[in-house]
Every structure is written in structure tokens, then in C-alpha cells.
Amino acid sequence: MSFQKLGVFQPLLDAIEALNYKEPTLIQTRAIPLVLAKKDVFATAQTGTGKTAAFGLPLLQRLKKHNPKGVRAIILSPTRELTIQIYEDLTAYAKNLDLKIEVVVSGKDIDKQRKRVRQSDVVIATPGRLRELTTSGLVLDNIEIFVLDEADRMLDMGFSNDIKAIDKLLPKHQTLLFAATFSDKVRKLSKLILRKPAFIETAKRNTTVDTINQIAYEVDADKKASLLAYLIGSRNFEQVLVFTRTKASADILAQELPKDGLKCGVIHGDKTKASRLKTLQQFKEKKIKVLIATDIASRGLDIENLPYVINYELPAVAEDYVHRVGRTGRAGKHGEAISLLDVYEKHEIKTIERYIGQKIPKEVVEGFEPDPNIRRKDKEEVKLKSEHKVVVQKPKKKKQPFSKSQAKTNKKRKTTKRG
Ligand code: AMP
């Protein structure tokens, strides 16, 4: 999927190209066409999923050019920092458009703010401050689009009355409500302010369906490549999607697997779009058995309906586990999701289990038993891992019978780059 196919017009395409947005994220793919079609939207999306562009791009496109009649779009956000962040993002997206965008947060001269806001097309504000402006004379008769970003946080912070009061002042308009969760408070608010909304759920809590068999194998980090090759070979996997956490580990793995006779391709952010699409095509045509991907690169790519997904490394974000696993077991078909856990990930998988509300069975493959001498030293080291620092692991002495490349791999991997 491309931004162009979603209906985004040229001035915005040029602006996001300069920001290096190559493909839309999941929330962008779903939200942009709906917002352009003037529908009310109720979306769950966490920060970091690209939600600002999901509402920001189609909002700017709908407004197109400056109109002196006054404010036509309001975006409310819970904090000063987020408000400024949204302002900066929208200003960058709108660089080729003749639109006036204003930010309204407390701590600045309110009279000056009112004057500036009156002449703008888009206002991004915290709810309390915007309410102050309306009670002291700001008219919102021309609003076409009303966006509530992080609505659940705004409600938790006690902005419910301000939001409802602002909503009452608006003429007929389109409302977009974004929240991290479907809390009861958010649901109640949505019933009050949304009209026949389209629902977008990108962070489903429990999307791991019954048809997907999930399992985790405990293994030392330096044996993962061999175990992966062993699993693929011994179980005759025909087509397998393997996820790594970083581009670097994707590249390393792509060098290791051919040593075991496995044809593989890699897609990650450093590969050109043409190269990614070519690799994907080869994978679909079964010219390559293993497709190695990072989370970001795999987003927006049509790789679904696979029998096997392997988490070579757990994702940094629990939500991504659901996205990864969701690539298999579609439409009632059987799917298997296998996670390889090193000593750190044994700890990290607990977060994922809490997130999906399910325990993932853990097993050990004979011949790949983890070395009991390798321990998770302390919390600091786990933290270091998530920050992609280098941690030295003890090399394991035990001989592994399953892989031809084992000896070489062991020599090379005395130092394991974490993350
Ligand atoms: P947000 O969830 O809106 O805070 O976005 C998180 C980060 O992702 C921001 O730094 C955005 O600039 C960036 N971003 C948003 N959409 C894309 C995209 N399609 N491709 C690459 N980066 C993106």
C-alpha cells in the first residue's frame, strides 16, 4: 500500500517524502481513506504507531487552502508537550500548503493567542486552554473537523467537561477520536460525540486466535540461528516468516541461514522499496523459503496467510507480537507462531503474555538446551538490552549435533550484540 493509493494528494506526498515516510503504517492505512470520506472515526492506537499522520494528513487535505472565515479544524490533546509535537508534525506535513496552523497552550498571553487563532485554519490545543478562549469570545462556528487525540488520557486528567462544552459549541462536523484503549469512560464519551463512527482497532488486546498454535523455545542467543535452521529443516517448513528486532540481526541471520542450505531474503528499512517488493514476490512464489523481516519493514506489506511465523527475537513492543502472529492462521486456517527465547527474552515474554492475556507454553528442543550458567544478571542488564547496548555473553562449550555451521557460528558469536 502506498500513501498515493490511500488518496493522499501531491503536496502532502512531497512533504512526507522529505520526512522519509516510505509506506503508511497500519493506522494510517485504515484511517486516511475514512477521514477523507468525511466519516466519524473511533480508533485505538498507541503513540508511536503513526497516528498523528493518520488524522493529520487527511485533515490537511480536506482543508486544502487558507480560508479567512476562521478556524475549521480543532485538535485537542492532553498535554502541552504532545500539543506542540502535533503542531510541529502538522506544520511539516503542510509545508507545501497555504494553511495557517496555530498552537494554543497555557503560559502564553491569551489575548494574543485569541487574535492569532481567529485567523487560522487549524488549532491544536489543550482542552482547558481552548475552553478559556471560547468563554472569552472565540467563536467556533466554522468547525468542520474535531479531533480528540489520546482521549482516554484527557478524560483521566479531568478534561471531560471541557471537551463536552467545546463539542456543544460546534456546528455539524466530522469527529475523530483516538485513544490508546477502549476504556468505559472513552466509550461513554464516544456515544455522546460521535455519529455512526467507523471503528479502527490497531491494538487489539486479544487477537491471538484459536487457530494459532503459539509456542516458545528457550535457547541461548548464540544457538538461535542453528535452532532456527534445525526447526525449518526437520519439520519441513515450506514458507516461513522470521522476525528480528533490528536490521543488524536480520542481516546477520541472512548470512547464517544459507550455510545450512536455506534460501532466504531480507526486508528491512535500509532496503529500497523495489528490493523489498522483489524479495516479497520471490517469497510468495516460493523461490525463497525464509523471509526475514523487521517489524517496521513488514508493516503495510501484504504478507499474510502463512503457516509459520517465527519470532527469532521478541519485538520491543508487545503490540507488535500481535501483529506478527496475526500474519498466520488467517481465515480459520491453522497457523503456528514460534518464539525463540534467550535468557533475557524469557523475562520479556511475560509482558507479552500479560498483553494478550494468555500464557505461551515454553519448551526446550533436545540438543539446544540453554546453558544454566548463563543467567540474566540483573534488571540493569535487561534495560541495557532494550537500549540496544552490547552485553557480553559467556560462550557455550557444549557441542551441537544439528548444524553444519554451528562451529563457525559459535566462534563468531562470543560477543552478542543485544537488541
Ligand atoms: P506518532 O505515533 O504519530 O507519534 O508517530 C511516531 C513516529 O513515527 C513519528 O516520529 C513520526 O514522524 C513517524 N512516522 C509516522 N508515520 C510514519 C511512516 N509512515 N513512516 C515512517 N515514519 C513514520
SS3 string of 233-292?
A: HHCCCCCEEEEECCHHHHHHHHHHHHHHCCCEEEECCCCCHHHHHHHHHHHHCCCCCEEE
Q: Which pLDDT value is given to residue 268?
A: 86
Q: Given the CA of residue 56, which atom of ligand 1 is nearest to it? A: 3
Topology at the third CATH level for domain 10-201:
Rossmann fold (3.40.50)
**Number of helices (H) and strands (E), helices first, in the chain?**
17, 16
Answer whether 56 contacts ligand 1 (Cβ < 6 A): no
Q: What burial letters (b/e) apply to 242-278, b meaning 16+ CB within 10 Å?
A: bbbbbbebbebbbebbebbebebbbbbeebeeeebee
Q: Which of 71-75, 320-324, 342-346, 349-353 has the largest mean confidence? A: 71-75
Closest residue CA from atom 6 of ligand 1: 48
* Residue 49 CA, closest ligand 1 atom number: 2
Split at pLDDT 50, 70, 90, the class of 322 is confident
Rounded distance, CA 240 to CA 28, Å? Answer: 27
Q: What is the mean pLDDT of residues 168-192?
A: 91
Residue 407: what pLDDT?
41
Ligand 1 atom 15, closest CA: 50
Element holding 99 (H helix, E strand): none
| pLDDT tens per residue, range 50-59 | 889 999 999 9
pLDDT at 378 over 60: no
At 415 the pLDDT is 38
Predicted local distance difference test score (pLDDT) of residue 203: 53
Where is pLDDT greater, at 357 or 385? 357
Considering Cα of 206, then 212, then 215, then 221, what sign does the dihedral take?
negative
Tens digit of pLDDT for each residue in 235-278?
A: 888 889 999 999 899 999 999 999 999 999 999 878 887 888 89
Look at residue 145 and give its three-state secondary structure: strand
> What is the model's pTM?
0.56
Ligand 1 in contact with 51 (CB < 6 A)? Answer: yes
* pLDDT given at position 136: 87
**Among 23, 25, 81, which is best to mutate for testing ligand 1, by the most ligand atoms less than 8 A from CB?**
25
Whether the CB-CB separation of 8 and 32 falls below 8 Å is answered with: yes
Helices 26-36 and 51-63 pack at an angle, to 10 degrees, of: 20
Cβ within 8 Å of residue 270, ≥6 positions away: 247
Q: Give the Cα separation of 308 and 28 in Å (integer).
A: 27
Q: Return the CATH fold of 212-363.
A: Rossmann fold (3.40.50)
The answer to whether domain 10-201 and domain 212-363 are alike in fold is: yes
- Identify whether the C-beta of residue 271 lies closer than 8 Å to the C-beta of residue 297: yes
CA 117, 77, 175, 159: dihedral to nearest 10 degrees? -100
Which residue has its alpha carbon closest to ligand 1 atom 8? 50
Compute the distance between CA of residue 135 and CA of residue 119 in angstroms, rounded to an integer.
Answer: 18
* Residues β-bridged to residue 337: 214, 309
Band (219; pLDDT cuts 50, 70, 90): very high
**Domain ranges for the chain:** 10-201, 212-363
Q: Which of 84-88, 170-174, 252-256, 391-395 has the lowest mean pLDDT?
A: 391-395
Of 75-89, 126-140, 313-327, the range with the lowest mean pLDDT is 313-327
pLDDT recorded at residue 406: 44
Residue 333 and residue 325: Cα distance in Å, rounded?
A: 13
Kindly give the number of the ligand 1 atom that is closest to the alpha carbon of 45: 2
Residue 148 pLDDT greater than 70, yes or no? yes
Higher-pLDDT residue of 147, 307: 147
Mutate-to-test residue for ligand 1 from 12, 52, 79, highest number of ligand atoms within 8 A of CB: 52
Would you say the CB of residue 52 lies under 6 angstroms from ligand 1? yes
Percent of the chain with pLDDT over 70: 83
Q: What is the pLDDT of residue 312?
A: 97
Average pLDDT over residues 268-292: 88
| C-beta of 31 in contact with ligand 1 (< 6 A) | no
Q: What distance in Å separates the CA atoms of residue 99 and residue 66, rounded to the nearest whole number?
A: 5
